[in-house]
A and B are shown apart, each in its own frame.
Chain A
Amino acid sequence: MKVLVPVKRVLDYNVKPRVKADGTGVDLANVKMSMNPFDEIAVEEAIRLKDKGVTEIVVVSIGEQKSQETLRTALAMGADRAILVVSETKVEPLGVAKILAKIVEEEKPDMVILGKQAIDDDNNQTGQMLAGLLNWGQGTFASKVEIADGSVNVTREVDGGAETDTLKLPAIITTDLRLNEPRYASLPNIMKAKSKPMAQKTPADFGVDVTPRLTTLKVVEPAKRSAGIKVADVDALVGKLKEMGVAK
């Protein structure tokens, strides 16, 4: 069984994003970039499924040349080979999903495991779009994945609790935070990853038009909150809450 895992290079989650003064976006010059945390979880899940019938894990990234680093990280964690689709310009989820659909046609995986959202654009779209394009089942926001005979059971984090759906394979899965805890790559594995195969492609190779449909007109900082007051004790807090009418 083959699994495809798309991974995205994003601003590290520990870095506080700064909006550029000219209002064109968030400043990504000289800041730490890492694999989208949900994608680490996706890679980890694919690796864990290796005991349960998964034989090959292919990781894909669509983005700048520097996304090679992200793919190497996935290879060091345990993926088998990588495909980089180079685009120095913006590719929206719809374009990403179309490229992934072409890669799926070529690679014929049994499952594609994606992150539920990328923490930069927070779109939460790509997996569902890919499922629509392929006419596959989709198990989004997964907290548990169990492969059965010709199908996969996915427990999903939904409003109000959890829901389990059974999907016919091949299928799409998107990961939520509690699916697993991703491993750190060991030094020997980081070394080994350097010799694992990485193919390079462009969107044009797949005949996909990735012209953006959305134009970003401007990016601004949200209204700032300022720190308020500190109260000395519980009585003062109760007093404040009463003043505000929260407590009687």
Chain B
Amino acid sequence: MKTLVWVEHDGQAVKDATLSAVTAASQLGEVHLLVVGQGVDGVAAEAAKIAGVGKVHVADDAAFAHALAENVAPLIVELMATHDAFVAPSTTHGKNIAPRVAALLDVMQISDILSVESEDTFTRPIYAGNAIATVQSSDAKKVITVRGTAFAKAATEGGSGAIEAVASTGGDKGLSTFAGAEIAKNERPELTSAKIIVSGGRALASSDQFHALIDPLADKLGAGVGASRAAVDAGYAPNDYQVGQTGKIVAPEVYVAIGISGAIQHLAGMKDSKVIVAINKDEDAPIFQVADIGLVGDLFKIVPELTEKL
């Protein structure tokens, strides 16, 4: 089977999510990559070094600068004439583009796979991860998105993929234009690849307190910062911090949940963490049912003390 893997990048560098998708694709067969963007020679060169990679298709065009699905999907459909599976990481680009490709190919997408059982059979979470379904696809071509935490990352060195420019890019379809972005500058490790995550919930009660308590603890631990939906909705933390069924799915070595009750939608995003630490004043909070280490008490006392003693 010949796979075409979506390379997630920020115009400068390949993102880690790509590496998990490569691992998933390699379990299906030959791995070809697709780099889409504008001025992405550097990204393509980096991608070509990923272990196990065959060809690297590069589609460089102003119409692809912001990876608008309307422009990118027809390109992928064309490339799928010579590939058997399109594999994308479950990033917002992957989730935005893959179903459009699937519909144009008349294929039912398999979302967010956790494992490859065979060429046509996969496992995937349903009901916020409260159930795992094994599904078999009867479509000739496959369109798949990959849950990053479920697959090891392919090595970033050792490959020598042949870089090849896509003959015709198709250009701008005139359906959509990029009008701007506000990308939060974040010096901390990315949530989806952080080894340690400190997450704050509604109990933090304000943006100021969220940052005054959570940030220093995260700094001490070299951790990424996450949040519950309640904390994001209330404006204590940016939307990009949300961990859960409808936010980011994380599986760090250590997840520290502070003032988070442990709703199933939140657990869906972090229950595969290796070690879960919970701080909550309610000893019956559901988060304690999944926590390896729990401390019952007032976070406003505990967190500063913890930060100091570390």
A residues near B (Cβ < 8 Å) are: 11, 13, 16-17, 19, 25-26, 92-94, 97, 116-117, 119-133, 135-141, 143, 153, 156-168, 171, 176-178, 212-222, 225, 227-231, 233-238, 240-241, 244, 246-247
Q: What would 20 A/B residue contacts be, using CB atoms closer than 8 Å? A: A94-B107, A119-B246, A122-B111, A122-B127, A125-B99, A128-B99, A133-B103, A138-B70, A140-B95, A140-B96, A162-B239, A165-B176, A167-B175, A167-B176, A176-B246, A217-B121, A220-B134, A228-B291, A229-B292, A244-B254
Q: How far does the alpha carbon of A163 sit from the alpha carbon of B276 in the complex, in Å?
A: 32
Known: A26-B131, A163-B66, A216-B134. A128 touches B181 (CB 8 A): no
Q: B-side binding surface: helix, strand, loop or mixed?
A: mixed
Known: A120-B126, A132-B100, A177-B233. A159 touches B92 (CB 8 A): yes
Contacts of A229 in B (CB 8 A): 292-294
Q: How far does the alpha carbon of A241 sit from the alpha carbon of B297 in the complex, in Å?
A: 18
Interface-lining segment among B24-32, B56-64, B207-215, B301-309: B301-309
Q: Which one, B98, B103, B104, B240, contacts A159 given CB within 8 A? A: B240
Q: Is the CB of B176 within 8 A of A166?
A: yes
Q: Name which residue of chain B comes closest to A234, CB basis.
A: B305
Q: A-side binding surface: helix, strand, loop or mixed?
A: mixed
Nearest chain A CB to B10's CB is how many angstroms away?
8
Q: Which of B86-120 contact A (CB under 8 A)?
A: 91-93, 95-104, 106-112
Contacts of A163 in B (CB 8 A): 66, 178, 180-182
Contacts of A121 in B (CB 8 A): 126
Known: A220-B131, A225-B271. A237 touches B277 (CB 8 A): yes
Contacts of B96 in A (CB 8 A): 128, 138, 140-141
Q: Is the CB of A17 within 8 A of B127?
A: yes
Contacts of A124 in B (CB 8 A): 95, 99, 111
Q: Is the CB of A235 within 8 A of B103?
A: no
Q: Is the CB of B108 within 8 A of A93?
A: yes
Contacts of A233 in B (CB 8 A): 295, 297
Contacts of B254 in A (CB 8 A): 241, 244, 246
Nearest chain B CB to A8's CB is how many angstroms away?
14
Q: Is the CB of B295 within 8 A of A230?
A: yes
Q: Which one, B184, B246, B290, contacts A225 given CB within 8 A? A: B290
Known: A177-B229, A214-B135. A17 touches B293 (CB 8 A): no
Interface-lining segment among B35-43, B44-52, B136-144, B163-171: B136-144
Is B73 interfacial (CB-CB < 8 Å)?
Answer: yes
Nearest chain B CB to A140's CB is how many angstroms away?
5
Q: Name which residue of chain B comes closest to A16, CB basis.
A: B264
Q: How far does the alpha carbon of A105 sit from the alpha carbon of B178 in the complex, in Å?
A: 27
Contacts of A117 in B (CB 8 A): 246
Tally B residues with Cβ within 8 Å of A.
Answer: 89
* 1/0 contact string of B205-242 vs chain A (CB within 8 Å): 00000000000000011000000010011000011100
Q: Is the CB of A235 within 8 A of B309?
A: yes
Q: Which one, B128, B139, B276, B291, contacts A122 given CB within 8 A? A: B128
Q: How far does the alpha carbon of A160 sit from the alpha carbon of B190 in the complex, in Å?
A: 9
Q: Name 7 extra pairs, CB < 8 A, besides A237-B293, A247-B220.
A: A129-B100, A216-B134, A228-B292, A230-B293, A230-B296, A240-B293, A246-B196
Q: Is the CB of A94 within 8 A of B264?
A: no
Q: Which one, B92, B138, B310, contacts A213 given CB within 8 A? A: B138
Q: How far does the alpha carbon of A235 sit from the alpha carbon of B290 in the complex, in Å?
A: 22
Contacts of B6 in A (CB 8 A): none
Q: Is the CB of A217 within 8 A of B196?
A: no
Contacts of A217 in B (CB 8 A): 121, 134-136
Nearest chain B CB to A32's CB is how many angstroms away?
14
Q: Name which residue of chain A comes closest to B70, CB basis.
A: A137
Nearest chain B CB to A155's CB is how many angstroms away?
9
Contacts of B129 in A (CB 8 A): 222
Q: Which one, B126, B128, B130, B181, contacts A164 given CB within 8 A? A: B181
Nearest chain B CB to A13's CB is how many angstroms away?
7
Contacts of B133 in A (CB 8 A): 216, 218-219
Q: Name which residue of chain A comes closest to B97, CB basis.
A: A128
Nearest chain A CB to B255's CB is how many angstroms away?
11
Contacts of A222 in B (CB 8 A): 125, 129-132, 271
Q: Is the CB of A168 within 8 A of B137?
A: no
Q: Name which residue of chain B comes closest to A141, CB basis.
A: B92
Q: How far does the alpha carbon of A13 sit from the alpha carbon of B94 in the complex, in Å?
A: 26
Q: Name which residue of chain A comes closest to B178, CB basis.
A: A165
Q: Is the CB of A227 within 8 A of B291?
A: yes
Q: How far does the alpha carbon of A240 sit from the alpha carbon of B310 in the complex, in Å?
A: 11
Q: Name which residue of chain A comes closest to B222, CB basis.
A: A246
Known: A168-B176, A233-B295. A119 touches B132 (CB 8 A): no
